[in-house]
Amino acid sequence: MTAARAYDVETVRRDFPILSETVYGKPLVYLDNGASAQKPRQVVDALRHVYEKEYANVHRGVHRLSQLATEAMEAARDKVRGFINAGAAEEIIFVRGATEGINLVAASWGRRFLAPGDEVILTVMEHHSNIVPWQFLRDEKGIVIRVAPISDEGELLMDEYAKLFNPRTKLVAITHVSNALGTVTPIAEIIRVAHANGALALVDGCQAVPHMTVDVRTLDADFYVFSGHKLYGPTGIGVLYGKAALLDAMPPYQGGGEMISSVTFEKTTYADLPFKFEAGTPHIAGAIGLGAAVDYVASLGLDRIHAHETDVLAYATERMKALNDVRIFGTAREKAAILSFSIDAIHPHDAGTILDREGVAVRTGHHCAQPVMDRFGQPATIRASFGLYNTRAEVDRLIAAIGRVREIFG
Ligand X SMILES: Cc1ncc(COP(=O)(O)O)c(C=O)c1O
Question: Which residues participate in catalysis according to the annotation?
Answer: 368
CA distances from 304 to 9, 30, 210, 297 (A): 10, 20, 12, 10
Check residue 97 for interaction with ligand X (CB under 6 A): yes
Q: Which is nearer to ligand X, 183 or 342 (CB)?
A: 183
Touching ligand X, residues 121-140 (CB under 6 A): 127, 129
CA distances from 7 to 211, 297, 307 (A): 14, 11, 10
The beta strand positions in 176-270, using DSSP E, are: 200-204, 223-227, 238-242, 260-263, 268-270
CA distance 106 to 135: 10
Closest approach, Cβ 54 to ligand X, in A, equals: 26
Give the contact letters, 223-242, x = binds to ligand X (CB under 6 A), - = no. ----x---------------
Select from 78-86, 204-212, 280-288, 292-300 the region that touches ligand X (CB under 6 A): 204-212
Closest approach, Cβ 126 to ligand X, in A, equals: 8
Strands 260-263 and 238-242: unpaired
Q: Which is nearer to ligand X, 291 or 359 (CB)?
A: 291
Closest approach, Cβ 139 to ligand X, in A, equals: 21
Contact residue for ligand X among 15, 90, 155, 204 (CB under 6 A):
204
Give yes or no for a cis peptide into 274 (omega within 30° of 0).
yes
Touching ligand X, residues 357-376 (CB under 6 A): 368
Interface with ligand X: number of residues (CB under 6 A): 12
Closest approach, Cβ 369 to ligand X, in A, equals: 8
User: Whole-angstrom distance between the N-terminal and C-terminal Cα of the chain?
Assistant: 50
Closest approach, Cβ 245 to ligand X, in A, equals: 25
CA distance 248 to 244: 6
Select from 51-59, 200-208, 286-294, 390-398 the region that touches ligand X (CB under 6 A): 200-208
Angle formed at CA 399 by CA 124 and CA 40, multiple of 5 degrees: 75
Contact residue for ligand X among 99, 183, 364, 391 (CB under 6 A):
99
Q: Who's near 391: CB < 8 A, 6+ residues apart?
A: 9, 13, 312
Q: Which is nearer to ligand X, 59 or 277 (CB)?
A: 277
- At residue 72, φ and ψ (nearest 5 deg) are -65, -40
Check residue 98 for interaction with ligand X (CB under 6 A): yes
CA distance 127 to 34: 12
Select from 76-84, 116-124, 202-210, 344-352 the region that touches ligand X (CB under 6 A): 202-210
Closest approach, Cβ 173 to ligand X, in A, equals: 11
Which H/E stretch holds residue 338? strand 338-343
Q: Which is nearer to ligand X, 207 or 391 (CB)?
A: 207
Check residue 173 for interaction with ligand X (CB under 6 A): no
DSSP 20: G
Chain-centre distance of CA 241, in angstroms?
13
Check residue 385 for interaction with ligand X (CB under 6 A): no
DSSP helix/strand/coil, 251: coil
Nearest to 209 by CA among 296, 95, 313, 100: 296
Select from 16-24, 93-101, 104-112, 186-194 the region that touches ligand X (CB under 6 A): 93-101
Select from 65-73, 91-99, 110-118, 287-295 the region that touches ligand X (CB under 6 A): 91-99
Check residue 33 for interaction with ligand X (CB under 6 A): no
List contacts with ligand X (CB under 6 A).
97-99, 127, 129, 175, 179, 204, 206-207, 227, 368
